[in-house]
Amino acid sequence: MHPLLSQLNAIAAQAHTALSAVTTLPELEAYTRAHLGKHSPLAQMNKQLGTLSTEEKRSIAPALQALRQELEAHTHTLQETLSTAAMQAELAAQWYDLTQPSTARKGSLHPITRMRHDIEDLFSSMGFRIADGPHIETEWHNFDALNIPPTHPARDMQDTFFLRTGHANTRENTVLRTHTSPVQVRSMLQYGAPVRVVVPGRVFRNEATDATHDTAFYQVEGLVVDTHIHMGHLKATMQTMLERLFGTEVTVRMRPAYFPFVEPGIELDMLYTKADGTEKWLEIVGAGMVHPHVLRSCGIDPSVYSGFAFGFGLTRLTMLRYGITDIRDLFSGSYSVLSQF
Ligand code: DAH
């Protein structure tokens, strides 16, 4: 037998033995490289063919070719078997029983959302309608109708985001609403008197941000217009609200304050017990009796109707209720903060 032919037999025997030991895809890859690749004995022998006589070539080349084809066919079959098995193993490992109870933490509502829901429930139970208005508001709704004249400092560029484009239909000047109070105006225009609405919503101020200030935050506005409404109704409503939200008896006091859209205007403080047991008055709500100018702007006769209005920071009240000291914790989406709720 030609020495190259017996060499070929030895290569074949080795290749077959090695192939029968392959059980994984990485092993198969290594095998293919070693026995069929550029540096394999087969490839080397192929190179040697060039040095042979035509006769020798005729007897050896077909055997070499046959062995290569045989090995390629085997590795191909094995490749399919192994990848099917690998995929099945993966599928078996990834099997989920959707009926199993989860050990992961369940989702929960953001503290601001919880607070808003509580407020909505509470005011609904007192006969209030939940209302909302647009974030992009006309200057008329945000300021003029609320008795805030063009010269009022609240219109200053520092506080208000003025928009370059006017209202889509009316071309009126627009702003990002700086408070929820314009929804008082919208509610009176829409429903007339008597009316009771509560308005949780987002407001925007052109301010520097820090631990207690953000350019966007949440307020809640309230409005009651009816015959014979007086400050006593306002105080009782605020006290009821705070007691329900904080789950304890609450002491409140009212101080005179100025807001253009109410007369008299007040600020309502709550006596707050801090973590160390000491007490402190905290300003919670701006409020007052709806100014006759505002009622008139909204088509309501101030000689027949009176009303009270209030507005407070939902964000701030939420921070107080849960003892959160940095506003940025509330809006960062941080899991360590949110997982406490
Ligand atoms: N709109 C006021 C603000 O953003 C809060 C406020 C004060 C609302 C008095 C009222 C009110 O309805 O009567 O600071």
Quote the pLDDT of residue 283.
92
Of 12-21, 109-118, 155-164, 287-296, the range with the lowest mean pLDDT is: 155-164
Q: Are 42 and 11 in contact (CB under 8 A)?
A: yes
Residue 298 main-chain phi, psi, to 5 deg: -105, 15
User: Which numbered atom of ligand 1 lies nearest the CA of 287?
Assistant: 13
What percentage of the chain reaches a pLDDT higher than 70? 99
Q: Is 231 exposed, middle or buried (0-12, 13-18, 19+ CB in 10 A)?
A: middle
User: Which numbered atom of ligand 1 lies nearest the CA of 312?
Assistant: 5
For the segment 223-240, the average pLDDT, to the nearest whole number, is 97
Q: Which residues are bridge partners to 306 per DSSP?
A: 226
Quote the pLDDT of residue 96.
81
Distance 269 CA to ligand 1 centre (A): 14
Provide CB contacts within 8 A for 310, sequence distance 6+.
221, 222, 234, 237, 238, 268, 285, 286, 287, 288
Please state, in angstroms and as integers, the Cα–Cα distance from residue 230 to each residue in 266, 288, 296, 305, 307, following that order: 13, 9, 18, 11, 7
Please state, in angstroms and as integers, the Cα–Cα distance from residue 222 to each residue in 175, 200, 289, 300, following that order: 21, 9, 12, 17
For the segment 260-275, the average pLDDT, to the nearest whole number, is 92
Distance 203 CA to ligand 1 centre (A): 12
User: Which numbered atom of ligand 1 lies nearest the CA of 180?
Assistant: 1
What's the number of CA atoms in the CB half-sphere (13 Å) around residue 47?
7
pLDDT for residue 139 is more than 80: yes
pLDDT tens for 114-123 read 999 999 999 9
State if residue 139 touches ligand 1 by the CB under 6 angstroms criterion. Answer: no
pLDDT tens for 9-58 read 999 999 999 999 999 999 999 999 999 999 999 999 888 888 888 888 88
- Closest Cα to atom 2 of ligand 1: 311
State if residue 307 touches ligand 1 by the CB under 6 angstroms criterion. Answer: no
Per-domain boundaries in the chain: 3-94, 111-338
pLDDT for residue 265 is more than 70: yes
Quote the pLDDT of residue 158.
64
For the segment 101-106, the average pLDDT, to the nearest whole number, is 76
Residue 203 main-chain phi, psi, to 5 deg: -135, 165
Q: Are 212 and 176 in contact (CB under 8 A)?
A: no
Quote the pLDDT of residue 157.
65
pLDDT for residue 71 is more than 70: yes
Quote the pLDDT of residue 329.
86
Domain 111-338: CATH class, spelled out? alpha beta
For the segment 180-192, the average pLDDT, to the nearest whole number, is 98
pTM, 2 dp = 0.69
What is the DSSP-derived secondary structure letter of residue 103? -
Long-range contacts, 95-101 (Cβ 8 Å, 24+): none
What percentage of the chain reaches a pLDDT higher than 90? 65
For the segment 210-224, the average pLDDT, to the nearest whole number, is 89
Quote the pLDDT of residue 98.
84
Distance CA 66, CA 62 (A): 6
User: Which numbered atom of ligand 1 lies nearest the CA of 222?
Assistant: 12
- Closest Cα to atom 7 of ligand 1: 286
Distance 151 CA to ligand 1 centre (A): 18
Quote the pLDDT of residue 154.
75
Confidence of residue 82 (pLDDT cuts 50, 70, 90): very high
Tokens of 236: 């009782």
State if residue 291 touches ligand 1 by the CB under 6 angstroms criterion. Answer: no
Q: Which residue has the higher pLDDT, 139 or 339?
A: 139
Q: Is 246 exposed, middle or buried (0-12, 13-18, 19+ CB in 10 A)?
A: middle
